[in-house]
């Protein structure tokens, strides 16, 4: 195990040379009114730990466990006011295996960039060069000068608009949350696709796995949050959409940064109740189609002008096609890859694939909601399948 730890630390030091900004710190710029990365080379975190349990005792394959948060150090206690942007933790298990945990600021890298970072780390561990040297020029996603907001952006919440609603938003943000995993078997996803295809036409094309799962989650969240059964209550679903191939020209394939925006769909709870499931699926599909090069640039410019953030009843982040289980380390592929901490925000939902070998077996859906809403969501999640 000592040899493995030494190799990991050595490769970690090497990769930080190429991703030098990860050794910096987040700083607030009063001049620009936003967070910036100060590339001050203060350093990243590296933690060595041990666990008295075996992999099987931890639940084995396909068993997400909220206790797994101990495998990634989220807060660097030695520097409470100066947190590293990335911390790697290697934890040896009683069975002889080990867990690699990463606490990585989402401000620095999105899911695709994180996977490339891990692929590069794996290559260095094997004694090879980087497979995809990072493209670190973030000016590719800078706002235009002057900014030109060419679309309305109802998915965005302006900080100034919170003046009258601040107490409501803070109450929603700081409620005690219940985080639970829900399972969708492959048969469940197939059944949702069949349900969405009824009526033919565009319904067939829109009935992808992601679209039907997102629509299912949306209807459950909307009904769970509509505790007073108000038909005119608005409900909005957000999900992360990569803009790498939507920009003109496309972003470099090894772009190292956060190249995602929030696709959105919104309607009333009354329409969610009355309209067919295929209608929700169609709205989810249209949310993705809406994000073009110009739309993405409009959001970036909106953020430059308004200093806001996306906000909805549910915010879905998908690990479905990231392929983290496919990364080849010197010791083989990971047995299991998943978030190790509960979602840290109200309405946050993560889709985690269950893969055995190369066979997709279904999804684990990690949901964080206030207790009362979670009880209703739990019932609806099974009832509406």
Residues 149 and 300: beta-carbon distance below 8 Å: no
Residues 262 and 238: beta-carbon distance below 8 Å: yes
Instruction: Estimate the crossing angle of helix 111-125 against helix 2-18, to 10 degrees.
Output: 120
Q: Let me know if 328 is a catalytic residue.
A: yes
- The residue annotated as part of the active site, out of 57, 106, 273, 371, is 106
- The residue annotated as part of the active site, out of 56, 328, 356, 371, is 328
49 contact partners, CB below 8 Å, separation of at least 6:
70, 71, 89, 90, 91, 92
Q: Let me know if 106 is a catalytic residue.
A: yes
Q: Could you list the active site residues? A: 106, 328
């Amino acid at each position: 195990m000592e040899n493995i730890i030494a190799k990991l630390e050595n490769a970690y030091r090497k990769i930080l040379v190429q991703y030098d900004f990860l050794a910096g710190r987040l700083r607030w710029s009063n001049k620009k009114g936003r967070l910036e990365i100060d590339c001050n080379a203060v350093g990243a975190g590296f933690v060595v730990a041990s666990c008295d349990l075996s992999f099987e005792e931890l639940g084995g394959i396909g068993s997400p466990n909220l206790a797994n948060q101990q495998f990634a150090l989220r807060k660097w206690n030695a520097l409470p006011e100066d947190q590293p942007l990335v911390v790697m933790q290697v934890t040896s298990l009683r069975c002889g295996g080990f867990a690699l945990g990463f606490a990585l600021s989402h401000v620095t890298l999105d899911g695709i960039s994180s996977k490339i970072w891990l692929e590069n780390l794996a290559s260095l561990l094997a004694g090879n060069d980087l497979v995809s040297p990072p493209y670190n020029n973030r000016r590719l996603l800078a706002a235009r000068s002057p900014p030109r907001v060419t679309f309305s952006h109802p998915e965005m919440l302006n900080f100034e608009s919170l003046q009258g609603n601040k107490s409501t938003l803070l109450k929603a943000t700081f409620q005690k949350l219940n985080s639970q995993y829900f399972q969708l078997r492959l048969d469940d996803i197939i059944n949702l696709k069949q349900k969405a295809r009824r009526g033919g036409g565009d319904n067939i094309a829109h009935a992808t796995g992601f679209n039907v799962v997102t629509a299912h989650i949306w209807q459950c969240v909307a009904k769970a949050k509509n505790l007073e059964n108000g038909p005119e209550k608005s409900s909005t679903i957000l999900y992360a959409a990569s803009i790498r191939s939507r920009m003109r020209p496309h972003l470099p394939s090894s772009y190292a940064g956060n190249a995602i925006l929030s696709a959105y769909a919104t309607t009333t709870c009354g329409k969610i109740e009355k309209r067919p499931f295929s209608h929700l699926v169609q709205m989810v599909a249209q949310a993705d189609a809406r994000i073009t090069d110009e739309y993405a640039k409009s959001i970036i410019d909106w953020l430059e002008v308004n200093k806001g953030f996306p906000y909805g009843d549910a915010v879905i982040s998908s690990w479905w096609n990231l392929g983290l289980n496919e990364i080849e380390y010197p010791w083989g592929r990971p047995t299991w890859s998943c978030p190790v901490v509960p979602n840290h925000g109200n309405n946050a939902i993560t889709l985690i694939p269950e893969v055995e070998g190369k066979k997709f077996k279904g999804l684990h859906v990690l949901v964080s909601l206030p207790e009362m809403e979670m009880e209703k969501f739990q019932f609806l999640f099974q009832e509406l399948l």
